[in-house]
Structure formats: C-alpha cells, structure tokens
Amino acid sequence: MLCFQYSPITEPILSASLTGNFAAFTANQTFFGVRVNMVQRSGADGSMVDLSDGFFGTAPFPDPPKIDVGPVDTGVVSAPIPSSFFPTLANIGNWFEFTDTGDGVFAIDYLSLDIVTASGVTQAFFGTPDGFGIGIPTGGNLPAPLPDSLPFGTTGTGLDESISSKSSHWEVPEPGTVLLLAGGLLLLPFAARKKRRSRPPNGAGFPLQL
C-alpha cells in the first residue's frame, strides 16, 4: 500500500503545500462542464478544503489552462494548504483526480506533502522523486514525447508511465502516515487538440506547461 510517511513534527508549521511533478500534462479543471481535475483535503472533523483552483486554475476546456506543459516538458505544480489545517496536518484525508484534457496522455513522477518549519522543509512522498524513473532532473525534458519515452503499463502504478487519468482517495488511520485506501487508473476517451503527439493504442490521449 502506497503512503505519505514522515516523522512527527513537534515545532510550529510555518507553511504547507501539496506538490506534484508532471510530464506533458494539460489540465483544465472542467471538461465540457464535467470536473475532471481536482485536489481536496479533508480533516478528521469533517472539514474540507478544496485546493483545485490554486492547483489547476479555473479555466474550463477549451480555454487555455493554467497547466499546459509541452510534449517533452516536465514541471512542478504546487498549491498551498490553509493554516487552519496545520494543527491536524497528519490526521487528514486526500482526494485527487488528474486528467489530461489536451491530447489524453501525461505522466506523474510523484506527489509530495511539503511542510515548512523554522528548522527546514519536511517532504513526504507518494511515489519516488526519481525523475520519472529515468533520472530526468527537475524541470528537465523527456527524451521523446509520450508514450514513447514512458510507455503505458511500464510500472502498473500510474507513476513513471503514460496515463490518461488517475484518481485516488487517501485516508489517515494514525498520525504521520497517509495511506492510499482506494485508487484507480482510467483511460478516458477525450477529444484531442489539433496539436497531437504519439497516440496511445486505444486512441485516447491528453499533456503540463507552467
């Protein structure tokens, strides 16, 4: 089971954010009125914070999105977490859905929970920050467009491989560990833009430029 894991934080939290490293990702928050990209966090008391506007922007498809990374580009996207969630940051749930609304194919290297204190930054990862499994430096380029450089099904996890959409629900049974309770990998048939890259076998495909 995949998880965020980090040691207990005993000093005041100055800021926190949820971050992702993506390749060739185009992401409007809505696609013809249907929400296909979102990031939400829920507290143990039932409170909910929606980070989607900060992460993806608000432009609906087919308007130019905030996230629109080119065919061989990679980029890091981050959204701040409100300070009201700092006291129970470990005891929190996560809901996310990532869908490429461009040509229907993209890749995720990792997601991270970044916590800043006076002592420095604590990072807890979902996935390994290994440059999409092939050592691409942060902000570097893929050796070729997707899916050629990161074929579909390479890892079977939805990380470090070509995908069209990934959604998951995370819950926290105990402080310091965020467990992935349920997740799915969906290949969704969305309309492609005129600018196309290599297509996945089923014709579905979507891209992240910052």
Per-residue pLDDT, 170? 65
Nearest to 77 by CA among 49, 32, 115, 112: 112
- Evaluate whether 96 touches 39 at the Cβ level (below 8 Å): yes
Distance in angstroms (rounded) separating the CA atoms of residues 177 and 173: 7
Residues 109-138: pLDDT tens digits? 999 989 999 999 998 888 899 999 999 999
204 three-class SS: coil
Characterize the bridge pairing of strands 165-174 and 92-99.
antiparallel
User: Residue 36 CA to chain centroid, in angstroms?
Assistant: 12
Distance in angstroms (rounded) separating the CA atoms of residues 18 and 114: 6
Enumerate the domain spans of the chain: 3-186
Give the chain's count of helices (H) and strands (E): 1, 14
Per-residue pLDDT, 5? 66
b/e map 170-181, b = 16+ CB within 10 Å: bbbeeebebbee
Helix (H) or strand (E) holding 144: none
Give phi and psi for 57, each to the nearest 5: 80, -175
Per-residue pLDDT, 175? 44
Residue 148 or residue 180, greater confidence:
148
pLDDT of 77 higher than 90: yes
Q: Hey, what are 95's tokens?
A: 């809901």
Per-residue pLDDT, 201? 35
Per-residue pLDDT, 67? 95
Distance in angstroms (rounded) separating the CA atoms of residues 59 and 57: 6
pTM above 0.85? no
pLDDT of 65 higher than 60: yes
Residue 44 or residue 159, greater confidence:
159
